[in-house]
């Protein structure tokens, strides 16, 4: 298995360029960054992890700017979003941001997306939480047109535009790999129809990973690799991922100052070494 890191980069922790350089030096292959544009003061949507919303959610840097800094500091590191909240993003700006990052990094982008959970955050972007699944499906289909066609157009219920010019085009062909976050039936269906890789969270059991891989094969998508998002270091969990033929595991890195972060990365190296 390959190993990377998933984390929240904030104004209170290690800088993304320093982190990226440290990851590459230690043999990690990827960095996946979370996204939240803002957190509404109204806290009606319960935090999926339970309890109070962690401080990092309030202070997250823009992932594409942070990953650009990471790209400038590295040569091989895969630069991932984990996850970009596509239903609350402007589609055309997102298409340009992803393609620009792929160009500047010489083809190292992994575009992880999901529907999100914070309904107030979505609503502030003008997104109806009830239709965010249908919206992201059309967005993903439209992005492929924008990235691969000189005069792209799309006409759907939620996304609609006449022919446009949009450059740059991504370096990766036909486009940067799309990673789908989430484990629900809707997410798996989205994975089959629109994606290149799956980004399940670490609580997904080895049995569920095997079940989904079987389902994907039955639906003609045996080509989809799995990247575990936000894993811990327990050997029994890593054993389960290896047994399920997971291609990559990303350790969940706490958001801390530089010295503490580098020490944690060294602990991750020790945990990963038996599986490399």
Q: What is the pTM of this model?
A: 0.97
Q: Using CA atoms, how far apart are residues 226 and 247, in angstroms rounded to an integer?
A: 6
Mean pLDDT score, 45-63: 96
Neighbour-count burial of 125, counting CB atoms closer than 10 A to its CB (0-12 exposed, 13-18 middle, 19+ buried) = middle
Q: Are strands 2-7 and 30-33 parallel, antiparallel or unpaired?
A: parallel
**Residue 154: predicted pLDDT:** 98
For residue 54, report the phi and psi dihedrals to the nearest 5 degrees.
-60, 150
Q: Using CA atoms, how far apart are residues 254 and 176, in angstroms rounded to an integer?
A: 27
Q: Quote the mean pLDDT of the chain.
A: 97
Tell me: pLDDT of 78 over 90. yes
Angstrom distances, CA of residue 108 to CA of 130, 170, 192, 235, 274: 33, 10, 23, 29, 26
Mean pLDDT score, 146-164: 98
**Residue 43: predicted pLDDT:** 85
- Considering only CA atoms, give the Rg of the chain: 18
Mean pLDDT score, 54-73: 98
Across 54-71, b (16+ Cβ under 10 Å) vs e yields eebbebbbebbebbbbbb
**Residue 52: predicted pLDDT:** 94
Tell me: pLDDT of 93 over 90. yes
Q: Using CA atoms, how far apart are residues 151 and 57, in angstroms rounded to an integer?
A: 38
Output the CA angle 185-176-123, nearest 5 degrees. 55
- 102-131 per-position pLDDT tens digit: 999 999 999 999 999 999 999 999 999 999
- 42-51 per-position pLDDT tens digit: 989 999 999 9
Residue 35's pLDDT band, with cuts at 50, 70 and 90, is: very high
The alpha carbon of 142 is separated from its chain's Cα centroid by a whole number of angstroms, namely 19
Tokens 């992890």 locate to: 49
> Would you tell me the crossing angle of helices 91-104 and 63-72 to the nearest 10 degrees?
10
Q: State percent of the chain over pLDDT 90.
A: 98
Q: Where are the beta strands (DSSP E) in the chain?
A: 2-7, 30-33, 78-81, 84-85, 109-114, 152-155, 160-164, 178-181, 197-199, 227-231, 248-253
Closest CA relative to residue 34, chosen from 188, 172, 199, 177: 199
Residue 233's pLDDT band, with cuts at 50, 70 and 90, is: very high
């Amino acid at each position: 298995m390959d190993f990377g890191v998933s984390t929240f980069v904030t104004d209170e922790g290690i800088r993304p360029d320093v982190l990226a350089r440290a990851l590459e030096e230690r043999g990690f292959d990827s960095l996946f960054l979370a996204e939240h544009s803002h957190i509404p003061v109204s806290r009606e949507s319960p935090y999926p992890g339970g309890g109070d919303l962690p401080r990092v959610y309030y202070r997250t840097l823009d992932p594409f700017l942070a990953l650009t800094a990471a790209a400038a500091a590295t040569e091989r590191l895969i630069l991932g979003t984990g996850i970009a909240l596509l239903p609350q993003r402007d589609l055309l700006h997102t298409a340009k941001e992803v393609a620009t990052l792929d160009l500047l990094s010489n083809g190292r982008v992994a575009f992880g997306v999901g529907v999100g959970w914070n309904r107030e955050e979505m609503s502030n972007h003008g997104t109806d939480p009830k239709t965010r699944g249908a919206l992201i499906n059309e967005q993903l289909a439209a992005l492929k047109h924008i990235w691969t066609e000189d005069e792209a157009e799309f006409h759907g219920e939620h996304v609609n535009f006449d022919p446009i010019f949009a450059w740059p085009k991504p370096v990766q062909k036909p486009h940067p790999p799309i990673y789908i976050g989430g484990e629900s039936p809707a997410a798996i269906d989205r994975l089959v129809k629109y994606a290149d890789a799956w980004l399940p969270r670490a609580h997904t059991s080895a049995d569920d990973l095997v079940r989904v891989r079987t389902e994907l094969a039955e639906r003609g998508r045996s080509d989809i690799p799995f990247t575990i998002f936000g894993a811990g270091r327990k050997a029994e969990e890593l054993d389960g991922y290896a047994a399920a033929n997971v291609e990559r595991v990303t350790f969940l890195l706490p958001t801390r100052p530089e010295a503490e972060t580098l020490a944690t990365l060294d602990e991750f190296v020790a945990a990963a070494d038996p599986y490399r």
